[in-house]
Amino acid sequence: MGFPRGAVDLRDFPQPLVHVNDMQALDFVTGLIDPDPSVRNSFNPSLADDLRVMSRGELFDMAMSICCALVADPQRCTTSLWRPANKDEYARFSPEVLSRVGRALLDWPGAFHRLAETVRGSSEARSGHFGIRKELGPLLAITQDGSIPSIARQLIRRKLDDNMVMTADGTHRIRRTENRHRSDLLTQRDAAEILNCTRRLVAKLSRHPDVRTLRAENTIKGPKLLDRGQIECIAALKPTLVPSQAVAVQLGIPRAALAELSERRLLLRETGPVTVLLMGNDYYHGSSVEALIANVERLVRTDEPPAAFVRITKGINRIPEAPLCFWATRGY
């Protein structure tokens, strides 16, 4: 039976020619649905292998879905793909937008990643605090629209995942574990495993002013990421510290005297973030304790003492006892 013949032949109503910066890309998009047999027969663009397996209709649906993502209001909800509903909204599909999408397909996937950066640039206007939906929400919505061919949805999803990998290094954006792709950042759970402590202690550690953390702005319960290098340094430092009571026993001096040794830089007292993980806050570096003991032992004389020298114990015994009444010796 065929299709009913239209009452109007659009060829009888020529329109002004459109001029855009990339006419080749625009011709590609319009050529996907051009009814002219001569155009369809000569239509043979050079496409990436990912796109060559798709039909003209699937490519056009994919192009239109990307157009919808580009012109959608960034402040609207991105759980579903925006679609034009009236003439004014269809006007957003300008020739320039069509040419940009056409170029994204012709230079796939590099040009598509450049479009993704354009979408990411408007992320501050979107709701939410972090994540792939915050960064690439309109494009992500394409992958969840059942009206788009599955081959196109799956392909776009793979490229979005690739884009998250490509943009992981050097970004200060908060991302979930599956999209972070950064080995230099740790969750509090990962940090607890490295430090061999509870997550509550790690949470307390993360509040220390000297601990570097990364967290989305204006969030209360959002993930807080920690610097792996700093956490590993803290983990390495922790077992080298000695509590003050043990240091006093090693040196054979009162515990109260350790502070003066620290002030004279004979002992190194730890005051950094690692003290949050320890019982109490009075710990000394084991290396400084060993160095002090070694210096004392180095100064010990093993030869016969000079005639004028006496042993410490003998000298102490020669010191007269203090008077019972302090005031009596001063005539008060």
Same domain assignment for residues 250 and 230: no
Same domain assignment for residues 229 and 139: no
Mark which of 133, 167, 201 sits at the end of a domain.
Answer: 167
As for how many domains the chain has, the answer is: 3
Domain that holds residue 259: 238-307
Q: Two tokens at 193?
A: 């495993």
Q: What predicted TM-score, i.e. pTM, was given to this entire model?
A: 0.68
Query: How far apart, in Å, are the Cα atoms of 11 and each of 8, 14, 35, 43, 94?
Result: 9, 6, 12, 20, 21
d(Cα 258, Cα 253) in Å, to the nearest integer?
8
**Has residue 317 been placed in a domain?**
no
**Has residue 222 been placed in a domain?**
yes
**Has residue 323 been placed in a domain?**
no
Same domain assignment for residues 57 and 104: yes
d(Cα 195, Cα 169) in Å, to the nearest integer?
25
Q: Per-residue pLDDT for the chain (332 aa), expressed as one digit of tens each?
A: 566 777 888 788 888 888 899 999 999 999 998 888 887 777 888 999 999 999 999 999 999 999 999 999 888 766 789 999 888 998 999 999 999 999 999 999 999 999 999 999 888 878 777 788 888 999 999 999 988 999 999 999 999 999 999 888 766 677 877 777 788 889 999 999 999 999 999 999 999 999 999 887 777 677 889 999 999 999 999 999 999 999 999 988 888 889 999 998 999 999 999 999 998 769 999 999 999 999 888 887 777 777 788 777 777 677 776 555 555 554 54
Q: Helix H segments across 167-219?
A: 177-180, 188-195, 199-206
Neighbours of 280 (CB within 10 A): 9
Fill in the amino acid letter for 53: V
Q: Two tokens at 216?
A: 């989305």
Pairing of strands 269-270, 213-215: unpaired
Query: How far apart, in Å, are the Cα atoms of 49 and each of 54, 65, 111, 148?
Result: 9, 20, 15, 20
**Has residue 22 been placed in a domain?**
yes
Same domain assignment for residues 89 and 42: yes
Same domain assignment for residues 27 and 138: yes
**Has residue 124 been placed in a domain?**
yes
Same domain assignment for residues 223 and 252: no
Assess contact for 205 and 211: CB atoms under 8 A. Answer: yes
Task: Kindly report the length of the chain.
Answer: 332
Query: How far apart, in Å, are the Cα atoms of 110 and each of 50, 159, 160?
Result: 13, 10, 12
d(Cα 296, Cα 233) in Å, to the nearest integer?
30
Assess contact for 148 and 142: CB atoms under 8 A. Answer: yes
Angle at Cα 26 formed by Cα 25 and Cα 27, nearest 5°? 90
Contacts for 46-54: CB closer than 8 Å, 24+ residues apart: 46/106, 47/105, 47/106, 47/108, 48/108, 48/109, 50/108, 50/109, 50/155, 51/105, 51/108, 51/155, 53/151, 54/149, 54/151, 54/152
**Has residue 319 been placed in a domain?**
no
Same domain assignment for residues 32 and 105: yes
Same domain assignment for residues 155 and 200: no
